[in-house]
Chains A and B, each alone.
Chain A
Amino acid sequence: MTSDAPDNPSTPDVDFTRQLPAEVARWEADGIITAEQAEAIRNRYASDSPEAGGSAIGNRVVTVIAIMGAALIGLGIIAFIAANWSEIPKLAKLALMVVGTPAIYVIGWFIGYRFGYVRIGVAVILLGAIAFGASIHLVAQTYHVPVNHPNLVPLWFLGVIPLAYITRSQAVFALSIILFLAAAGFRAQEWVPELNSEDTILLLPGLLPLGAFLFAAGRMQARFPDTRQFARLCDISGLLVAAAGIYFLSFDELWWDIGRSKLSFNALTVEYWGMVAIAVIVIAALFAVAAWRDAGQRTGQIWWEAGAVGSMALVAAVMWLGLAFGGAWLWWVFNLVMLAGVLAMIAAGYRWNRAYLINLAVPIFAITLFTRYFEFGLGLLGQSVAFIVAGVILLAGGFGMEYLRRRLVRRIRESEAAS
């Protein structure tokens, strides 16, 4: 595969499926692909073509509606459990969940893989994954185990993640990522049991290794045909988690408070640093696999991606050092880091033709900008000058990127015409 291949070929857009038959015929005529390969490509996207009565958008609507249905039924099951209906004996409730959850999976499997309604079947399997979580919490409720017990959500995550890879469902994978992040949060209270509530800010730098891990997992999965469809979800969640860590530490008032209070760094236990070390080793391993898959290619994409993860590690180190020794001026550093991160995401999206990176960078930039605007209010001359200068730089950068893009397109067309 090439590194520039789209991460999610299973959901082609309308233009793509409309243009594909003509393109495939042209490739076949030019001898780029054989007749068998052309047939295989046409069959691959047959159900998405308008001629077949389907369309990418139509398929997506079916998927979204089915998932919404599964989510609503799942919420109903959770509400049923939350009501803690005393008329049903505890053992009967447990039996209902122990029998009911597998029954949902069996129904999903029949609908999806026996009757051929894959999108509906996978949505029912998603419902089964929600019902599994509800069952865990039902057992916990029966024995008066609190909802914030550190083992409940990790158990739920471990039960759901294999289903995502077996069904290749993005919805189940999205649920797995949400559960993974929640599980990390619940486990954190075990890794740092001595942390006072006012010292929880010390956990924020940990969001960077967490985000870097998800991003690295996405980049590794992008290099395998069977897992490529999950890469985008991993990238987006990883970048969002990292951005959240930077965002929380970009507040001026927060750094003044940190300067006034004495944070107990000793509360960060060996387990906490051990988890950070494990994250670093796993990230390195994921990139080693990605580099192995990229061997022989000269796109250089892997170095950009490794650079992004390295930058996250550097920011995390600055955060820990800043919290230990830093001063109030550090809020500026993290605002600059956020701006640099946003620009890097836009540049990467532009360079590697990944629109989702740009679509992610713009709201992050907007949220940060509005936060600073409301944090400082109007009429502050220094801030207004800073905003204007930053805005001028961005406008100039946008103009430069558009100029380069046009020049690149012109050159490609000229070279095509010449050949």
Chain B
Amino acid sequence: MSRRMTILLFAVVAAQVIGLVVFATVRQVALTQGREVTLQTVPVDPRSLLQGDYAILDYEIAELHESLRDRPVGSQVFVVLRECGDVWCGAEQSPRQPDPTDVYIRGRINDRGRIDFGIGTFFVPEGTGHIVERAQDVKVVVSLSASGNAVIKEVLVDGRPFNPGMEQAR
């Protein structure tokens, strides 16, 4: 391999590493800088071939309002949130971006007629999906950016942060 090609090879490897670091940093910043809200969920438990076990999380606030049901699949919807005790619930749904002073989450209408917020997947260690599946109450703490994009911060299983090691020991 010529010197030029060797330099190119290692430039590509460096670009790959930079890409990975940027990807992780963007997600980490979204996680730490955003506003924290807790949402009520209903989970099910399938398996991803590449990423192992995960729980699919469906949210109470994902129920599409009647006035928006004629909108096509893939349309953007904003849900304004307000505190209802220990969780946040949907106060208002709109296809337009709400006032910046509101706390809101951005999603898209999926082909099941519900709203997909991009936080429907929670990865768990192998063989521990049943803990989430069998729980009586699952809540998700998410971090919301100023534009309404959400990142999962933590999952609360029956009121406690999800910790498969502790759950299995019990």
Contact = CB atoms under 8 A, between A and B. Distances in A.
Interface of A: 78, 81-87, 94, 97-98, 101-102, 105, 109, 112-113, 128, 132, 135-137, 139-147, 155, 158-159, 162-163, 166-167, 192-197, 267
B14 to A, nearest CB: 8
Given A82-B126, A162-B12, A195-B74, A142 B50 contact: no
| 9 A-B pairs with the lowest CB-CB distances in the bound complex, closest first | A193-B74, A82-B52, A143-B27, A194-B74, A146-B121, A86-B125, A194-B72, A113-B1, A144-B152
Contact of B53 (A84, A97, A267): A84
A113 B165 contact: no
B151 interface: yes
A194 to B, nearest CB: 4
A139 B9 contact: no
Q: Which of B6, B21, B73, B151 has the most CB of A within 10 A?
A: B73
B68 interface: no
Given A143-B27, A146-B121, A78 B50 contact: yes
Overall SS of chain A's interface: helix
A98 B13 CA distance: 10
Contacts of B23: 136, 139-140, 155
Nearest to A114: B1
B-side interface size class = 35 or more
Contacts, number: 127
Contacts of A139: 20, 23-24, 27
Contacts of A166: 1, 5, 8-9, 12
Contacts of B6: 109, 113
Contacts of B119: 144
B125 A84 contact: yes
Contacts of B54: 144, 146
A158 B23 CA distance: 14
A82 B12 contact: no
A147 B19 contact: no
Given A102-B17, A113-B6, A145-B27, A137 B51 contact: yes
Given A139-B20, A147-B51, A167-B9, A193 B108 contact: yes
Contacts of B72: 194, 267
A105 B73 contact: no
A105 B52 CA distance: 26
Given A166-B5, A196-B111, A147 B50 contact: yes
Contacts of A141: 51-52, 123
Interface in B11-49: 12-17, 19-21, 23-24, 27-28, 31, 48-49
Contacts of B121: 144-146
A146 B152 CA distance: 12
Given A145-B121, A155-B19, A166-B12, 20 more contacts: A81-B50, A81-B52, A82-B51, A82-B52, A84-B126, A85-B125, A98-B20, A98-B21, A101-B13, A102-B16, A105-B10, A109-B1, A132-B20, A139-B20, A143-B31, A144-B119, A146-B120, A158-B19, A163-B9, A195-B73
Contacts of A162: 8, 12
Contacts of A94: 24
Contacts of B19: 136, 155, 158-159
